[in-house]
């Protein structure tokens, strides 16, 4: 566990460091470059917030300092990705947002390019992961404002991703930064399930704080449930997809959708993923193996883990294969992917804050 924790923090230092824990809690720390526009990328930074929360539990006496880093990172993301791209020094908040409601305009992905096929915009699955990170931060700090911000974001973006096709409710995958235009009209495999699970968590945390009323997000949750009911809950076979499927399934193992997802994911994990991912890295294999996707699979398997002891050795083998590649210097051929690779590598080593009930339990390896 100590060696995993050392690797975990080394990976976090490479993305967000240097951070001087002895100087906390002040407001001078600026998080390092997460690989996106103006240094911020929503998916990577969601992992960053959750990883700092994990460190706050795993490092014992250093807990408050790591929670400060998580707060600072969240605030920085809101100030960068909650605003227009240009001009950097005086960028306006996104349409619909105000100083009092900074997330009512959503959050940008943080893509380097403003437009084009891989340009900036908003992904539903990035936004819901960020909501989850804020919600865990609320529970870790006992500060209701983080949950309130997550709910604010949830209510703002939800209707923008909802459409009807052939009289049936469904979703789109990507919208523009002003939330007025659909950029990718297909539905992500897990977007409805992710919204259903995360919005339930937001509601439960709001009830814990007693701040937003018992019916908060009720209509949104019901809409996700309807889409799940008439849709096809399935995985693509991509390692990240199977990992996120298992992560979602572990929050409610007995639900019908959870049993269906976990059955598919475990079949893929046993039959394909752990077989191919356990092979040594070569110049040829590096052309089609993406580290962060494999780490996503490892994370999901570790979170689900119940009865999966037979898979744990395979997961650790995959992480060991990538270890030297993750911790070596800046000569990585995927330099642009280093931040997301490192943040997800850390989470795959110690899932921590990704796990259900982690904040009520002990350490997590």
For residue 71, the Cα-to-chain-centroid distance in whole angstroms is 16
Closest CA to 344 of 136, 45, 58: 45
72 contacts: CB under 8 Å, gap ≥ 6: 27, 29, 30, 31
* pLDDT, tens only, 172-192: 999 999 999 999 999 999 999
Which H or E run contains 182? strand 182-184
Residue 333 has pLDDT above 60, yes or no: no
- Return the structure tokens found at 266: 């475990």
* pLDDT, tens only, 228-267: 999 888 888 899 999 999 999 999 999 999 999 999 999 9
- Return the structure tokens found at 317: 């083998």
Res 362: pLDDT: 40
94 contacts: CB under 8 Å, gap ≥ 6: 82, 83, 84, 105, 106, 107, 108, 177, 178, 179
* pLDDT above 90 as % of the chain: 78
Averaged pLDDT, 277-300? 90
Average pLDDT, rounded, for the chain: 92
108 in Cβ contact with 85 (< 8 Å) = yes
Residue 70 has pLDDT above 50, yes or no: yes
Which H or E run contains 190? none
Cα radius of gyration rounded to whole Å, the chain: 19
**CA-CA distance, 23 to 13, in Å (whole number)?**
16
* pLDDT, tens only, 116-146: 989 999 999 999 999 999 999 999 999 999 9
pTM of the model: 0.96
Averaged pLDDT, 271-289? 87
**CA-CA distance, 107 to 124, in Å (whole number)?**
10
Residue 305's pLDDT band (cuts 50, 70, 90): confident
291 in Cβ contact with 44 (< 8 Å) = no
**CA-CA distance, 348 to 292, in Å (whole number)?**
10
Q: Which range has the worst mean pLDDT, 20-29, 102-111, 179-188?
A: 20-29
Got the DSSP string for 309-360? HHHHHHHHHHHHHHHHHHHS-S--TTGGGHHHHHHHHHHHH--GGGSTTGGG
Residue 87's pLDDT band (cuts 50, 70, 90): confident
Averaged pLDDT, 97-115? 97
- Return the structure tokens found at 112: 């380097």
Residue 364's pLDDT band (cuts 50, 70, 90): very low
Res 212: pLDDT: 86
Res 309: pLDDT: 73
Q: Which range has the worst mean pLDDT, 1-5, 174-178, 275-279?
A: 1-5
Residue 25 has pLDDT above 80, yes or no: no
For the chain, domain boundaries: 115-232
The three-class DSSP label of residue 135 is helix
Residue 34 has pLDDT above 90, yes or no: yes
- Return the structure tokens found at 213: 């009323």
Residue 330 has pLDDT above 60, yes or no: no
Residue 105 has pLDDT above 60, yes or no: yes
Residue 361's pLDDT band (cuts 50, 70, 90): very low
- Return the structure tokens found at 130: 């960020």
**CA-CA distance, 47 to 133, in Å (whole number)?**
8
Res 281: pLDDT: 87
Which segments of 122-217 does DSSP mark as H helices, in order? Answer: 124-141, 144-157, 191-209
DSSP lists the bridge partners of residue 162 as 171
DSSP state of 286: G
Res 23: pLDDT: 60
Residue 28's pLDDT band (cuts 50, 70, 90): confident
Name residue, tokens 């570790």: 302
Dihedral sign for Cα atoms in the order 136, 137, 143, 144: negative
71 in Cβ contact with 123 (< 8 Å) = no
Residue 315's pLDDT band (cuts 50, 70, 90): very high
Closest CA to 45 of 113, 129, 149: 129
- Return the structure tokens found at 227: 């889409």
Res 308: pLDDT: 65
């Amino acid at each position: 566990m100590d060696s995993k924790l050392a690797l975990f923090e080394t990976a976090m230092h490479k993305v967000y460091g240097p951070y001087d824990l002895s100087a906390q809690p002040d407001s001078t720390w600026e998080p390092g470059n997460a690989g996106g526009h103006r240094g911020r990328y929503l998916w990577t930074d969601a992992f960053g917030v959750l990883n700092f929360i994990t460190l706050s539990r795993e490092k014992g006496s250093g807990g408050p300092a790591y929670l400060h880093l998580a707060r600072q990172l969240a605030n920085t993301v809101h100030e960068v990705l909650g605003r227009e791209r240009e001009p950097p020094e005086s960028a306006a908040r996104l349409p619909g947002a105000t100083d009092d409601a900074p997330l009512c305009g959503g959050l940008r992905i943080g893509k380097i390019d403003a437009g084009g096929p891989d340009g900036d915009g908003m992904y539903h699955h990035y936004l819901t992961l960020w909501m989850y990170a804020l919600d865990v931060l609320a529970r870790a700090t006992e500060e209701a404002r983080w949950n309130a911000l997550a709910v604010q974001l949830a209510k703002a973006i939800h209707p923008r991703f909802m459409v009807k096709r052939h009289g049936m409710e469904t979703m789109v995958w990507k919208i523009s930064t002003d939330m007025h235009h659909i950029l990718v009209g297909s539905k992500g495999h897990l977007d409805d399930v992710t919204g259903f699970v995360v919005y339930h968590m937001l509601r439960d945390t709001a009830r814990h704080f007693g701040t937003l009323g018992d019916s908060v997000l009720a209509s949104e949750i019901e809409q996700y449930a309807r889409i799940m009911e008439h849709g096809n809950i399935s995985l693509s076979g991509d390692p990240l997809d199977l990992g996120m499927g298992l992560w979602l399934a572990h929050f409610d193992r007995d639900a019908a959708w959870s049993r269906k997802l976990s059955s598919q994911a475990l079949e893929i994990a046993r039959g394909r993923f752990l077989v191919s991912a356990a092979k040594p890295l070569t110049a040829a294999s590096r052309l089609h193996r993406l580290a962060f996707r494999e780490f996503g699979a490892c994370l999901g398997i570790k979170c689900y883990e119940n009865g999966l002891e037979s898979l744990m050795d395979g997961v650790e083998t995959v992480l060991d294969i990538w270890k030297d590649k993750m911790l070596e210097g800046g000569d990585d051929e995927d330099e642009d992917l280093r931040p997301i690779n490192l943040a997800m590598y850390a989470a795959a080593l110690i899932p921590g804050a990704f796990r259900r009930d982690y904040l009520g339990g002990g350490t997590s390896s």
